[in-house]
Structure 1
């Protein structure tokens, strides 16, 4: 019985994250942020890396300040890198994290572009492009690749530091 509860716990956390994402997509950014922060307090800095990665990834999108958004995106990447190597096989959690890498780096590139740091933006954009090679041709993969191309074009067109990334660029 205890083993069954342990197996259900990760699903419950991911379900709660999904509920926050739905709130955010429905336009209730403030409530989504509030719920995400509450869940972050429950999970903690040392909680399951997949949970922290996923939560920080979505929590970043609810931030008003570009510096705060960058901080959450960096937490997401750090957590993704903490997924144990022994999970690199066919484990669903590991696969989920690997499929997030293109978006994690794309978000960091967009953050750095907003903050007027084009070199850092380009560095993460290169990493996003490299990681995107592992994505399939499904809707998610194509949308990430398209967002990478849009940000590349924006950075090429606006060679000045501090170029704004269009709204909705951050995936």
Structure 2
């Protein structure tokens, strides 16, 4: 059993607050936690917080900043640290979603070649995903996003990472 992690508990509470409809409150909570953690804080906390915080912004440019922070934190993260939170976690499985989110933001900003590059990176790492509902959701979103990039569409997608 893992030890309690007050920071992860606070991140989870904020995410649930946002999913419950209080997006502004959730953003405020996560931004306050980010100030406590700092840009050099625990990689797992930074990755998780930034990944979820990005989804709380309608502005693709702001979401992109948080998604880049999540990817940077993942690059500094190892499985041992992730498994302190849950024994099943593998950092490699984070990357398809992280690159998918970056691709979606870049697409919404009209940067289609950069979006396609991140879709390629997500596809290269799909084998790290489990064959379950989560893995299927990421694979389906990638397919839909690839089509939207090919068609140069910039609207928010119903299956987007922040939907």
Q: TM-score, normalised by structure 1?
A: 0.84
Structure 1 residue 164 corresponds to structure 2 residue 155: yes
Equivalent of 1:25 in 19, 27, 30: 19
- In our comparison, the structure showing a higher alpha carbon Rg is 1
Report the secondary structure of 1:95's partner residue: coil
Residue 74 of structure 1 deviates from its aligned partner by: 0.3
- Structure 2: runs of 5 or more not aligned: none
Q: 1:91 to 1:77 in 2, by over 3 A?
A: closer
Partner of 2:100: 106
Query: Deviations along 1:8-41, whole A, 9 cap, x unmatched?
Result: 3xx2211111111111111111011010001101
Partner of 1:127: 121
Contact 1:69 1:111 in 2 (8 A): yes
Give me the whole-angstrom Cα distance separating, in 1, the residues matched to 2:109 and 2:118: 14
Structure 1 residue 155 corresponds to structure 2 residue 149: yes
What is the number of residues matched between the two proteins? Answer: 157
Matching of residues 57-76 of structure 1 within 5 Å: 57-76=51-70
- Structure 1: runs of 5 or more not aligned: 1-6
Q: TM-score, normalised by structure 2?
A: 0.88
Give me the whole-angstrom Cα distance separating, in 1, the residues matched to 2:71 and 2:81: 20
Give me the whole-angstrom Cα distance separating, in 2, the residues matched to 1:97 and 1:63: 24
